[in-house]
């Protein structure tokens, strides 16, 4: 598979992920009863699912740089710093049933989503960052557009949002540690 095909596959996953995030936020806002049912269904699975998202995002990121030889820009590196640890600590926490991982994961994903938001903003409107392109590796460069829309920063944004949403939905019961 070439880079555009991999981007299509990851873009399909990102579309699904974006629908999950929007669905969870929407349910919480307009259908609290359904949201509580969803919370019950996802109880105890937050770290597992968020960890899976982080692992897929990490593997996708590594494939684009090591497989497709796209050079990560500066903002990509900062997002990697936030995402890669999540791919390790969340599966470990899920394996050990260590639910106190949530605040640490929230901080990492929060930093990631903030950087990713800025990256998406300058990618959509390059004039916000500077008037020209750095010859070496500008962050405004769109390497791929999976399904005609999903650039790498957009997929990263959804990944961070999904990690936060899945961990937020899986809130521990008050009597849990």
**Smallest gap from residue 112 Cβ to another protein (A):** 21
CA–CA gap between residue 8 and residue 151 (Å, rounded) = 10
Toward another protein, which CB reaches closer, 9 or 81? 9
Toward another protein, which CB reaches closer, 111 or 168? 168
Toward another protein, which CB reaches closer, 3 or 62? 3
**DSSP structure class, residue 70:** P
Toward another protein, which CB reaches closer, 70 or 78? 70
**Smallest gap from residue 51 Cβ to another protein (A):** 11
Residue 167 and residue 106 in contact, taking contact as beta carbons nearer than 8 Å = yes
**How many other C-beta atoms lie within 10 A of the C-beta of residue 33?**
8
CA–CA gap between residue 47 and residue 15 (Å, rounded) = 21
**Smallest gap from residue 34 Cβ to another protein (A):** 16
Residue 36 and residue 175 in contact, taking contact as beta carbons nearer than 8 Å = no
Which residues lie near another protein (CB under 8 A)? 1-13, 16, 41-45, 48-49, 52, 68-70, 96-100, 126-127, 130-135, 138, 140-145, 147, 175-177
**Smallest gap from residue 80 Cβ to another protein (A):** 20
Toward another protein, which CB reaches closer, 70 or 160? 70
5 Cβ partners below 8 Å, 6+ apart?
A: none
Q: At what angle do helices 32-42 and 3-30 cross, to 10 degrees?
A: 130
**Smallest gap from residue 133 Cβ to another protein (A):** 4
């Amino acid at each position: 598979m070439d880079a555009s095909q991999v981007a299509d596959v990851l873009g399909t996953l990102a579309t699904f992920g974006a629908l999950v995030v929007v669905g969870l936020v929407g349910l919480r806002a307009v259908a609290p009863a359904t949201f509580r049912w969803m919370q019950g269904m996802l109880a105890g699975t937050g770290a597992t699912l968020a960890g899976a998202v982080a692992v897929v995002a990490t593997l996708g990121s590594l494939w684009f740089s090591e497989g497709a030889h796209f050079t990560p820009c500066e903002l990509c590196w900062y997002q990697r710093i936030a995402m890669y640890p999540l791919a390790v600590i969340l599966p470990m926490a899920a394996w050990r049933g260590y639910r106190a991982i949530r605040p640490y994961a929230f901080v990492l994903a929060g930093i990631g989503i903030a950087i990713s938001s800025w990256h998406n903003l300058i990618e959509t409107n390059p004039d916000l960052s500077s008037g020209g392109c750095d010859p070496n590796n500008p962050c405004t460069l769109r390497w791929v557009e999976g399904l005609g829309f999903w650039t790498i920063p957009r997929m990263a944004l959804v990944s961070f949002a999904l990690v936060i949403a899945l961990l937020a939905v899986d809130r521990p019961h008050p009597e849990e540690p």
